[in-house]
Structure 1
Amino acid sequence: MTHLTKSEFAARHGWSKSYVSKLAKQERLVLTVDGKVDVEATELLLADSADPSKAAVAARHEENRVERDVRSQLQPGTGPTAVLQPDPAPGGTHNFQKAKAHREYYLAQLAEAEFNKVQGNLVERQAVEDAAYSAGRMLRDQFFGLAPQLAAELVAMNDPWDIEKHLVDAFRRVFNEVGKMNSADLSQAITQS
């Protein structure tokens, strides 16, 4: 473990002392009990909490530091690649890259769902459930409505073949009426909910 003062840590990276103080205020420095910077832990924390969208800015600043002849103060592996490809975060610490990727994934999912709604490929689930319930209830009501209609007619019949034929015709009539429910009726049932 390497422990440096804040000034030494700033010089090591070619940063100003005020920037290291800013990192300390943001709690992005791992400090020891005596106030020194734990270099390895701090670099890991900085890599995990770095914003990947700022990688180009970090690279540009790195180039400027190198141009000012700070190369001798830099350690291998502390350049922009450390910002772009951090090691996995140990035991439950916040990983900015994973959180941002997670957020972007779900925003893309929402955008895709909204696009499909606009295109008419998706509808609200509750509206479809309500329309299916209404259609099923209508079918059930028409079938239960057959009993009082057919009772008087069936009492007068004694041939099983005629009774069966009469029932099949009545059932077919109900199914045809329900089948005539066109897409406009279904669309109206969906939008009513």
Structure 2
Amino acid sequence: MMHLTKSEFAARRGWAKSYVSKLDSQGRLVMTDDGKVDVEATEALLAETADPSKAAVAARHEAKRTERDASSEPQLADDTPSVGQLPSLSGAERSFQRSKAHREYFLAQQEEANFYKMQGSLVERQAVEDAAFAAGRTLRDLVLGLAPQLAAELTGMSDSWEIEKHLAGAFRRVFDDAAKMSGADLKQAMTQS
């Protein structure tokens, strides 16, 4: 087992000392009792907790550090992945990428829904269902209430044309009243959501 100080570990990896301190504050360094870095355990922990989406960047930086140390003139290694290509991912890394993409997709969907709500072109489903139920109930009550109102008026009429005209006028009034109430209820339901 190899144990190094933080400064030695930073030099070995080609990192700035501040970066190693940052890793320590994130709990990504395995320290021994005497305050040194357990290199093997730390490297395993860093590999386990690394963000796979940063793999291409990390590989490119590592190649540049290696070349900088090897020669004064920086050159890219043949196996350095470009920005557009990712190295082959393990099962855990693929799972991480899939989960991250899944999360980002639904966050975008949520923002899109919020945008449409703010514009007024999207409303809560439950509010619309409640308003539609109230409108249907109101219409039913108004139509069923016609029979007791019209019974006395129609018994004195004998001309079928007059009866038809009287019924048509009564139905028209009921449906106009229902439309006004339903429109107001629906508008109120949509503005409450």
TM-score w.r.t. length of structure 1: 0.62
Contact 2:132 2:186 survives alignment (8 Å): no
How many angstroms does 1:109 deviate by? Answer: 0.6
TM, length-normalised to structure 2: 0.62
Q: How does 1:59-74 map to 2 (within 5 A)?
A: 59-69=60-70
Contact map agreement 1:58 1:80 (CA 8 A) in 2: yes
Quote the residue 1:121 is aligned against: 121
Alpha carbons 2:55, 2:87 under 8 Å: kept: no
Percent identical residues:
47
Residue type of the alignment partner of 1:114: N
Deviations 1:103-130 (A, max 9, x none): 1111111111112222222221111111
SS in structure 2 opposite 1:68? helix
Q: Which amino acid is 1:85 matched to?
A: L
Counterpart mapping for 1:1-193 below 5 A: 21-25=41-45, 28=48, 50-53=51-54, 55-69=56-70, 77=79, 79-81=80-82, 84-87=85-88, 94-181=94-181, 185-190=185-190
After superposition, what is the alpha-carbon deviation per residue over 1:125-177, rounded to whole angstroms, capped at 9, x for unaligned? 11111111111111111111101000111222233332222211111111122
When residues 139 and 183 of structure 1 are mapped into structure 2, their CA distance, relative to the original with a 3 A threshold, is: closer
- Whole-angstrom distance in 2 between the partners of 1:19 and 1:103: 34
With over 3 angstroms needed to count, the CA separation of the structure-2 counterparts of 1:143 and 1:185, relative to structure 1, is same
If asked which structure has higher relative contact order (CA below 8 Å, sep 6+), I would say 1
- Structure 1 residue runs without a partner (length 5+): 1-13, 29-45
Q: CA contact under 8 A between 1:62 and 1:80: conserved in structure 2?
A: no
1:57 to 1:87, Cα distance in 2 relative to 1, 3 A: closer
What are the ranges of 5 or more consecutive residues in structure 2 without an aligned counterpart? 1-11, 15-36, 72-76
Q: How many residues align?
A: 156
3-state DSSP class of the match of 1:123?
A: coil
Distance in 1 between residues matched to 2:83 and 2:44, nearest whole Å:
19
Q: Which amino acid aligns with 2:44?
A: A
Once the two structures are superposed, residues 59-118 of structure 1 have per-residue CA deviations (whole angstroms, 9 ceiling, x without a partner) of 223311222229xxxx964x345995244656x885222221111111111111112222
Contact 1:59 1:80 survives alignment (8 Å): yes
